[in-house]
Amino acid sequence: MPEPLVPGAQPAPAPQPSPDEPSALLSPTSLQGAALVGCGSALPVASLSNGELIGLVDTSDEWIRSRTGIGARRVAGPGETVTSLAAEAAGAALAYAGWLPADVDLILLATSSPDDLFGTAPRVQAALGANRAVAFDLTAACSGFLFALITAAQYLRSGSFRRALVIGADQLSRWVDWEDRRTCVLFGDGAGAVALQACEAAADGVLAFRMHSDGSRNACLTLAQGEQQRPLVGQYSAQVGGFSPIRMNGQEVYKFAVREVPAVLAALLAHTGIAAADLDWLLLHQANQRILDAVADRFAMPPERVLSNLASYGNTSAATIPLMLDEAVRDGRIQPGHLIASSGFGAGLSWGGALLRWQGRPGLRMNATA
Ligand code: UT7
């Protein structure tokens, strides 16, 4: 008899898909929840300190630390790609959950820096050997992981799929302007993943969510297609594919974040009747320590309950939330049953929030690969 995923809740029956079964089950089911049962992460080897950036742009360790909380960032080197990082993170989440690759029905890869614009998730599927899974990309910048988690949860709740791997992976070092000190000091590369399993409604791990977009403010933060034309024949020309580097109006995005993130979290707390004091963790997109502090202040969350790894990794875009989750689960801070308020925000503009309950069993933690 498996132990309950949430104290007091009935354990979810373990689904047993056969290798021949189509990935979409599309049959009525009593499993109307989605439990977070595994996590993993992966980082490039090279770590670039603030001090090392001084050789590149006119900046200082003091400026970067005091304005952002960032001390270093990882930068993908030869052979390290969104695919390899995502597959490593997802493989660790799979092992943590105790699944086999053939158990996975759905792989959702949140990324804004795909290895292949046609889709990078299928490459991850192949690397994992998760042959039954349907795999596709989802792009919502720094909100991407949260949007993907919520999307995957809907497939599980509807009975369409039973096991999903949700990955956030980005390699923005490809797309920053390394001569622009306003942006190049902020971003880093990495990947994180969560294993999501259909469960009974009582054990649901995605307690409430909100998602928002405001395209009228898109220009605040872009990684946009360039405008170069190539003459074809006669009067015809075609646009040349290629993206301009990241451009950001930092102050506008900062103001947007400190206004919208508390609003979305307050709406979730009001909707569920959960008090801020009952939250175990605040797990926000890691963009700026000052944003984390401002949101924590709004909910009177003490600093020790606000998760931050900005000092080590900077802003890894879609990867920040699962990367941070994995770190805090593996070092024992996040325990089974803990309640987490999470929010992603960034380009689009896009933002969202979710109240999550972590249900990965601690016994599996010891067997999981790093
Ligand atoms: O992940 C997506 C979501 N992104 C965010 O949430 C980011 C939100 N924005 C921010 O975190 C902050 O706005 C930044 C960290 C990007 C910038 O901090 P700031 O306090 O808003 O600085 P600022 O843009 O107002 O710039 C202040 C000064 C400027 O100099 P002047 O014009 O006052 O002489 C900048 O040129 O700081 C200068 N500056 C720098 N100086 C040293 C900008 N970048 C740097 C740098 N080193 N790297």
In the chain, pLDDT over 90 holds for what percent of residues?
A: 87
CA of 249 to the centre of ligand 1 (A): 9
Half-sphere exposure of 124 (CA within 13 A, CB side): 39
User: pTM for this one?
Assistant: 0.91
Q: What are the sequence ranges of the domains in the chain?
A: 33-216+245-359
CA of 250 to the centre of ligand 1 (A): 6
CA–CA dist 103, 90 (Å, integer): 13
| Close Cβ partners of 102 (under 8 Å, ≥ 6 residues apart) | 17, 19, 129, 130, 131, 132
Q: Taking 80 as the threshold, does the pLDDT of residue 27 lie above it?
A: no
Q: Are 64 and 51 in contact (CB under 8 A)?
A: no
User: What residues are annotated to the active site?
Assistant: 142, 285, 315
Ligand 1 atom closest to Cα of residue 253? 8
- Strand extents, DSSP E, the chain: 33-42, 46-49, 72-75, 106-110, 134-138, 163-171, 189-199, 206-213, 221-222, 229-231, 237-239, 247-248, 281-284, 339-346, 350-357
The pLDDT value given to residue 29: 55
Question: Rounded mean pLDDT of 57-75?
Answer: 98
Torsion angles phi and psi, residue 326, rounded to 5: -60, -45
**CATH code for the part of the protein at 33-216+245-359:** 3.40.47.10
Q: Which residue has the higher pLDDT, 118 or 366?
A: 118
Question: Rounded mean pLDDT of 79-85?
Answer: 98
The pLDDT value given to residue 30: 61
User: pLDDT per residue over 6-17, tens digit each?
Assistant: 344 444 444 444
Q: Taking 60 as the threshold, does the pLDDT of residue 26 lie above it?
A: no
For ligand 1, which residues put their CB under 6 angstroms from it? 59, 63-64, 67-68, 142, 181-182, 185, 250-251, 253-254, 257, 287-288, 291, 315, 346
The pLDDT value given to residue 55: 87
Question: Rounded mean pLDDT of 125-143?
Answer: 98
CA–CA dist 145, 122 (Å, integer): 17
Buried b / exposed e over 331-360, threshold 16 CB at 10 Å, is eeebebebebbbbbbbbbbbbbbbbbbbbb
